[in-house]
Amino acid sequence: MDVLRTARLRLRWFNEADAPFVRELLNEPAWIQHIYDAEVRTDAQAAQWIRERLVMRYWLLGFGFWAVERLSDGELLGLCGVIKRDGLDHPDIGYGFPARCWGHGYAREAAAGTFDYCRQVLGLREVMGTTGPENHASGRVLLAIGLEDEGVQQTAAHEGLSRVYRWRDTQPADDDAQIAALRWRWQAALQGPARAALTACVAPSTLEAVMNGRADLSPPAYDDLARRWAPLAEDVSIPAIRTPAGWRLQVPAP
């Protein structure tokens, strides 16, 4: 499923066919040094990691880490996106590319597209980024796209110290405006342009019912969910509720 495009790149959902690339990426020395060792050594383990660590989040959050492809030839270049980590107050942007893809500006371009998506499609008012204290290359990417350096800190999301970056929407929060924007994002997701963000509009209780016993996490299954909700696209009677993740719609489970 497509998520967004930039001048040179397409960001899309990962799928299990991407397992050989993911295995390679997770065993890159820079990934193990600056992120962590996922202990994924085979394609079968990589396929499981994709399903459990990536695809599940697409459904539960409406966002996640996406595959980065080059538009000109479809080559898979890396990973980029936004996730909500336990131990961080707000979603944070992350990315990883094998060393053979460094030096072409792909990380900055993908991260900039993700940052725009966070604000315009997901409606986030605060976005974070974290790096290792000495990972200055990744820090430069976060600074270049518009986040500010808040220094080295101990976060609950990491065992060691991290350098923390952050962007905040400086406009005063207005509940009515946020709810109106949420309903607009809900329509856009159901009508196609922002389909991948569909479940980011929905209350946790509804998602729990949707995910109960679900085995099919494919893009067609996600599209089918959108088709079943399509008649509700302009239903302003659907209540909006405040959740720890922001305003969400209390959509009836299909």
Q: How many C-beta atoms lie closer than 10 Å to residue 189's C-beta?
A: 23
Q: What amino acid occupies position 122?
A: L
CATH node for 2-168: 3.40.630.30
Q: How confident is the model at residue 221 (pLDDT cuts 50, 70, 90)?
A: very high
For residue range 138-195, list pLDDT tens digits in order.
999 999 999 999 999 999 888 889 999 999 999 888 999 999 999 999 999 999 889 9
At 37, list the tokens: 């060792």
Work out the mean pLDDT of the chain and round it to a whole number: 95
Q: What amino acid occupies position 1?
A: M
- Distance in angstroms (rounded) separating the CA atoms of residues 79 and 71: 15
Domain map of the chain by residue range?
2-168, 182-249
H or E segment at 9?
A: strand 9-12
Q: What amino acid occupies position 209?
A: A
pLDDT: which is higher, 114 or 36: 114
For residue range 228-243, list pLDDT tens digits in order.
999 999 999 999 999 9
Q: Would you call 136 helix, strand, or coil by DSSP?
A: helix
Whether residue 33 has pLDDT greater than 90? no
Q: How confident is the model at residue 254 (pLDDT cuts 50, 70, 90)?
A: confident
